[in-house]
Amino acid sequence: MAIQQNNNSNLLLHENIELQQYWFTIARHKWGIFTFASIMVLLTALFVYSMQPVYRATVTLLIESQQAKVISIEQIYGRDSSNSEYYATQFEILKSR
């Protein structure tokens, strides 16, 4: 029993020493690690901001053989369908995006 406890304590001490060595290695090279990470973040940011934005959309069109009970947009919003100025403005807004 005493031998097993001694082996366990030696194992824990050995693991602790390894962790300390890792920590000291990281601490010794902290500026190099920080510089490398900063350069990677900067290069990634430059690459992302220089990319042309791509807008994608998918649509599913449902074609039914039965006639749908559709109400007009005028019935919902109360707009006059002959108001061409309104539609021209809406068209320009959509075109500008």
Please compute the mean of the pLDDT values over residues 74-93 and round it to a whole number. 73
- With a cut of 90, say whether residue 38 has pLDDT above it: yes
Instruction: Let me know if 79 is exposed, middle or buried by CB neighbors in 10 A (0-12, 13-18, 19+).
Output: middle
Could you read off the pLDDT of 9-36 as tens digits, one per residue? 665 666 777 888 889 999 999 999 999 9
Q: Which amino acid is at 40?
A: M
pTM for the full predicted model: 0.41
- With a cut of 60, say whether residue 7 has pLDDT above it: no
Q: Contact, 79 vs 73, CB < 8 A?
A: yes
Q: What is the pLDDT of residue 61?
A: 73
Q: What is the pLDDT of residue 93?
A: 83
- With a cut of 70, say whether residue 64 has pLDDT above it: no
